Amino acid sequence: MYLTQEQLLIYKNQGYILLSEYLSLTEVEILKAELSALSTENSPKRILEKDGSTVRSLHGLHTENDVFNSLTRHPFIVEPAMQIVDNQVYIYQFKVNLKAAFTGDIWKWHQDYIYWRKEDGMPRPQVVNAMCLLDDMNEFNGPLFLIPGSHKEKMIDITANPRVTNTKSDKSGDNPAWISSFSANLKYSLSQELVADLVSKYGITFIKAAAGSVLFFDSNIVHASSNNISPFGRSTVIITYNSIENIPLQIQNPRPDFLVSKDYRPVTPLAPDALSQFSGVKL
Ligand code: SIN
Ligand code: MN
């Protein structure tokens, strides 16, 4: 399902496009059922909140789970990604952010591309995020905040925040260096002054949309989310598609494969009903 020229223009101008109720409720149910089984598994791919027990994120599930793998190849998602990136794409990153009811923590103001550039050596921001909502996102449950148009500032080259975080990855023992890209204490978060300037220049918005909606957003758009003190969970899957001609350069100490995939094979879209066929199937 390709975007119209008008939708592409919206994406280019504001740095994001929201496709409301884009996946079916059957597909959402399939994904949520799968997620509840997986989030209890103890693994280094599972990141916990500061409390040491709430699951914050799950990484790289698409490599080991057929349901999430089908989501990454859903034509409704891959085809717009290819259009936006203007090339064939591979999966650069796959994560589920759970933002649990009552306890889900914040994501500070940041741009994504600075991480991919500085931590992984990605040459250009020829990459796009597809955020798939598995729950309704609203004013109560820590919705995604965006500064529309802020992607036009390109990568804002800030120095890394040296603060240590106490977020833990299961079984990791001491925190590995990469954890500071996934905890509430983000490594390249923007200063309050900078965010205030950008908001006075571009304004601010937040995403309010039903489960099944998909948000495509630019790797340089400034975004954040507050904590979730509501009784409503706010889980999303974020799939990052990179151009097959934008493969990261060789760097020292690359991040683990489950965070930054080294599988550069182009994603081929499946049939539109491939994911819904898992309905009622016990895997
Ligand atoms: C992110 O920036 O990757 C996540 C933001 C969110 O889940 O609110
Ligand atoms: Mn981000």
Helices 75-85, 5-14: axis angle to 10 degrees equals 60
DSSP 80: H
231 within domain boundaries? yes
Evaluate if residue 100 carries a pLDDT over 80. Answer: yes
Evaluate if residue 165 carries a pLDDT over 50. Answer: no
74 CB less than 6 Å from ligand 1?
Answer: no
pLDDT digits (tens, 9 = 90+) for 2-29: 999 999 999 999 999 999 999 999 999 9
For the four alpha carbons of 38, 101, 144 and 16, in that order, the dihedral sign comes to positive
Evaluate if residue 283 carries a pLDDT over 80. Answer: no
Residues 268 and 252: their CA atoms lie apart, in Å, by 31
Evaluate if residue 168 carries a pLDDT over 80. Answer: no
Share of the chain above pLDDT 70, in %: 90
275 within domain boundaries? no
279 within domain boundaries? no
157 within domain boundaries? yes
Q: What pLDDT is attached to residue 253?
A: 87
122 within domain boundaries? yes
Evaluate if residue 280 carries a pLDDT over 80. Answer: no
Domain range spanning residue 249? 5-261
222 CB less than 6 Å from ligand 1?
Answer: no
Give, as residue ranges, everything with CB less than 5 Å from ion ligand 2: 112
Q: What pLDDT is attached to residue 180?
A: 62
273 within domain boundaries? no
282 within domain boundaries? no
46 CB less than 6 Å from ligand 1?
Answer: no
- Number of domains into which the chain is organized: 1
How far, in Å, are 20, 35, 67, 209, 235 from residue 141 at the CA level? 18, 19, 26, 12, 10
Q: What pLDDT is attached to residue 181?
A: 67
Residues 213 and 220: their CA atoms lie apart, in Å, by 21
269 within domain boundaries? no
216 CB less than 6 Å from ligand 1?
Answer: no
The number of the ligand nearest the C-alpha atom of 182 reads 1
Residues 24 and 194: their CA atoms lie apart, in Å, by 39
CATH number where 158 lies = 2.60.120.620
Nearest CA to ligand 1 atom 4: 107
pLDDT digits (tens, 9 = 90+) for 37-73: 887 777 889 999 999 999 999 999 999 999 999 999 9
- Cα 231 to ligand 2 centre (Å): 24
Residues 21 and 32: their CA atoms lie apart, in Å, by 15
pLDDT digits (tens, 9 = 90+) for 197-235: 999 999 999 999 999 999 999 999 999 999 999 999 999
Evaluate if residue 130 carries a pLDDT over 70. Answer: yes
Query: Given the CA of residue 110, which atom of ligand 1 is nearest to it?
Result: 2
Nearest CA to ligand 1 atom 1: 107
> What is the rounded average pLDDT of the residues 99-128?
97
In terms of pTM, does the model score above 0.85?
Answer: yes
Strands (DSSP E) contained in 42-126 are: 46-48, 55-59, 89-97, 107-110
Residue with tokens 């603060």: 163
DSSP string, 17-63: EEETT-S-HHHHHHHHHHHHHHTTS--TTEEE-TTSSSEEEEE-GGG
Q: What pLDDT is attached to residue 261?
A: 95
